[in-house]
Amino acid sequence: MTTLPDAWTPLRYHPEQTRLWKCKSRFTAVVAGRGSGKTELSRRRVVAMLAVRKPWPDPIYFFALPTYNQAKRVAWEPIKRLIPPSWIKPGGISESDLVIETVFGSKLFLLGLDKPARVEGVQWDGGVIDESSDQRMGVFDRSFLPAFSHREAWCWRIGVPKRFGIGAREFKAFYDRGLTGKEPEIASFTWKSGDIIPAKALELARSTLSDVDFAEQYESSWEQAGGRIFHAFGDHNKGPCSYDPERTIYVGSDFNVDPMAWTLSHIRMGPRNRGDFVETFDEVFLRDSNTPATMSYLWNKYGSHHRADWVFMGDASGRGRRTAATVTDYSIIRSDERFERKRVLYPKANPAVQDRFAVCNAAFRAASGVVRFRVDPRCTHLITDLENRSYKEGTREPDDVGDVSHSSDALGYILHPMLGHLIQPIRKAPAVFAA
């Protein structure tokens, strides 16, 4: 009798997961929320199959992710921990090729589908395709299905129902086929994160994500892939925001020449003390300008009578030398002696653009209903940006032309560091920045 490794901890009973484990269909589509056990269950499935006798001496299985590096980083070590040592053939683990050979004659390959040719040229016995919304379209039909034909292979296609993944449309179509019941070889399964993860963790996610992102990532909901980037922004975010000379001004800076777009905000305690609340009370939008000229504009408008601190924030690219300058934009700000009480903060590296957008949407209105941002109606350029910035059709690439993007990027350079770390305000996350 084989003793299972410690990694085989008991799983919480879930009827849909049990139904999936017992399913006899060759192909399954599993749509489930983050942290809900779909990946752990699929790893155990493919490992358990390694000991199953086949009519042939060399059954082969796979666990696939969108890229090779992702497969190595995310799945390799967890899968090795699940395989009983007595099952592994001496010298049967290839760290370079991500292949495990067992004493039963079976092999398990970890695959990155950034090169679909890794799938071809063999006949598989079964496997798992993880993060299916991010898999390249056509790979399943063109590369996998021909390699499934001779051994009646099985395959689990699992993932979160993403709006913008490159393979999301194809994955949803496959999932929908399994729901019809018209094709016995295809079955579909779904469950929410809330069925599995602790309520406290779920509430944290609800407070940090917009309602659309939360529904997608945790409630297994196929949300419509609308074109607006800032879909959570609306009239509830507009209202009078007063300037207070006794409060720190947070300046979000987009270092562009035409226009030079900056936002000016205060951070206050939100309603019912529910975390920090950002109020953008003014904006700077200057044509054919530069950093020194913008600093003078800011000083002439607020500097002489502002009694509290200034915090300047922006894009990491502002650190680099510009073709028309001999010093960095941040050095110019830092050396401006008129602003004595100032901090100049910039990220050591830019966050992923989609992460910044997600944090902005969560600030505009989280899934919990909490709003953490308001903008004064006089900030017309920023409001126009937030209401109209969109994606190119069918992609997650911003469709930025003309003046679009600069003002909303400037705002994002404030909101991301403040809310991107479990709703911790900027002053509590100094490690993110360099002074």
Residues 178-225: pLDDT tens digits?
998 889 999 999 999 999 999 998 988 888 888 888 888 999 988 765
Average pLDDT, the chain: 87
How much is the average pLDDT of 393-412?
82
Residue 428: which pLDDT band, with cuts at 50, 70 and 90? very low
* Token pair for 143: 């590369």
- Helical residues (DSSP H) of 322-401, grouped into ranges: 329-334, 353-364, 380-388
Quote the pLDDT of residue 100: 98
Residue 166: which pLDDT band, with cuts at 50, 70 and 90? confident
Residue 294: which pLDDT band, with cuts at 50, 70 and 90? very high
Question: In angstroms, rounded to a whole number, what is the distance separating the alpha carbons of residues 402 and 388?
Answer: 12
Quote the pLDDT of residue 180: 85
- Tell me: the pLDDT tens digits for 336-363? 999 989 999 877 777 788 888 989 999 9
How much is the average pLDDT of 143-164?
92
Give the least confident one: 5-19, 23-37, 258-272: 258-272
Q: Which long-range contacts (CB under 8 A, 24 or more apart) does 296-304 make?
A: 298/251, 298/262, 299/336, 299/338, 299/339, 302/243, 302/249, 302/264, 303/338, 303/339
Q: Do residues 196 and 32 make contact, with C-beta atoms less than 8 angstroms apart?
A: no
Q: Is the pLDDT of residue 15 over 90?
A: yes
Going along the chain from its start, the domains and CATH numbers come out as 15-197 (3.40.50.300), 235-434 (3.30.420.280)
Q: Is the pLDDT of residue 17 over 70?
A: yes
Quote the pLDDT of residue 387: 86
Q: Do residues 161 and 172 make contact, with C-beta atoms less than 8 angstroms apart?
A: yes
- Tell me: the pLDDT tens digits for 211-260? 888 888 999 988 765 578 898 999 899 999 999 999 999 999 988 777 88
The pTM (predicted TM-score) of the whole model is 0.66
Q: Is the pLDDT of residue 57 over 60?
A: yes
Q: Is the pLDDT of residue 41 over 80?
A: yes
Residues with Cβ within 8 Å of 235's Cβ and at least 6 positions away in sequence, in order, are none
Residue 108: which pLDDT band, with cuts at 50, 70 and 90? very high
Quote the pLDDT of residue 432: 35
Quote the pLDDT of residue 368: 86
Quote the pLDDT of residue 224: 64
Q: What is residue 358's three-state secondary structure?
A: helix
**Percent share of the chain, pLDDT over 90:** 58
How much is the average pLDDT of 43-67?
96
Question: In angstroms, rounded to a whole number, what is the distance separating the alpha carbons of residues 276 and 311?
Answer: 16
Q: Is the pLDDT of residue 27 over 60?
A: yes
Q: What is residue 240's three-state secondary structure?
A: coil
- Tell me: the pLDDT tens digits for 368-383? 888 999 999 999 999 9
